Chains A and B, each alone.
Chain A
Amino acid sequence: MSRHFVSTQWCAAAAVSMLLGLAAFAADDRNPLAGDAKAAKAGEYEFRINCALCHGLGARGGGRGPDLTRAVKKHTHSDADMFQVISNGIPGTAMPANGTNGQGVGMTDEEIWQIITYIRSQEVKAPAKALGSANRGKVLFYGDANCSLCHMVDGKGGRLGPDLSAVGGSRTREAMIDSVRNPSRHLAWGLTESTKEFPQEYESVTVVTADGKEIKGVTLNEDSFSVQVMDTDEKIHLLEKDKLRSFQKSRQSAMPKYDADVLGDKDLEDILAYLTSAGAK
């Protein structure tokens, strides 16, 4: 009994101090831990657990999320913006609200401020200078490089591949180069369903229907019994698997491999400059 009494008292005391602590962290528009090296170190642990999957170890970005060491960020300017984005996610993007991915434990307000402190500690102040010409890149994108046959930027272009309007702001330069040079290495993510663990990927598919017609394209979505395909003419086919003569999926991307003799380094830099300028909007 006495132990119970003591623990109740302790709980009450802890509750009061915790509430005060939370209030101190949540009510502030400014990062209460700004510049605190110890908080930055704690934030590094939190970042590895909660952010690094998409943003990479060291916050330098990955194939799924932007490089956060860039001083200029698309969705956030102040620490308070960043707190909001981490807490609530960014609708229409893969950035989830804190604690909603169903795995891991989410973060407290204090831990979010620690992460922001860590990100600020990793920032490179001078913005990366574009190496190529955005204007020339645009000409290539819609012309000789044939990107726009399958990809769209700002509403203009093809539908078979991922829309690249935002890619320049949400992917690292290295990830974009890799996607061009080795498109099959990491297939792009497509449709994300809210209850599902993994997004659909841009897998290639070849089916032969019951009447012998061959369809080649990419999977828009798929389950064990049906598949939704966009073919190379951008027609959507809704297919029941058990009615197909054959169904072949491939992780060989429908995008051709643009190695250096197909697309030279200079041309690639110009296209990256174009995508980066489009993505900054």
Chain B
Amino acid sequence: MKDAKAEILARIRRGLGESPQTEPLPAPLDPALSVEDLEEAFRKAVEGLGGSWHAAEDPIQALKAVQSLTEKEEANLCLLSRHPLVERVVNSGPLEISCVRAGQAADMEDLERADIGLAAATWGAASTGTLILSAADEGTRIASLSPPVSIVLLPASGLCSDLSEFFDHQSAETARNSALTLVSGPSRTGDIELTLSTGVHGPGVLHVILCRFQSQTGPATEQEPL
């Protein structure tokens, strides 16, 4: 389709005229909503979207929160992402539920059987309660997507007040990331009579665990004793 490309570009240039009057590109806007207490704002936003909010001071507390959520949800098989924070939390003690790691799932059937997912965000934007998941860190796109219940670990160190802050500073992330996913609340639809219904394709239930401990990012730190 070489011809198509050349022709479309020619049409555009012809349409703009010989010397297109270039409008200047305005600077990005400052965010209107600034947030004072990041964690509190985040909690409110997540709960406002119908998610639940938990906080953990160390990996063992986080693991306990995961354990109690899997029990509460009566889950049988947990799909784990490969995020270092997930690794750190599940390696901090025994988790009494069968687990399968994304990418190691024997087949699609395993994926379909997984009824809870454990993933981790790399950043979070408080004003909208948005979790930002990186496919590069997660090693998967679906641990936070396929199971009907989703637990997402959120490192306190990755919080910012507004999404515009994230977009202002993290454009380089796209180079190492085939997919960044912004998650704000559970999966929802209003397609039938505008009646809100959750869990249509993604998880209908979202639990966020704020992790007030260091996220580890490389294999070297992963080997440190917990």
Please determine whether chains A and B interact with each other in the same assembly. Answer: no
Q: Which residues of B are at the interface with A, using a C-beta cutoff of 8 A?
A: none
Chain A residues packing against B (C-beta within 8 Å): none
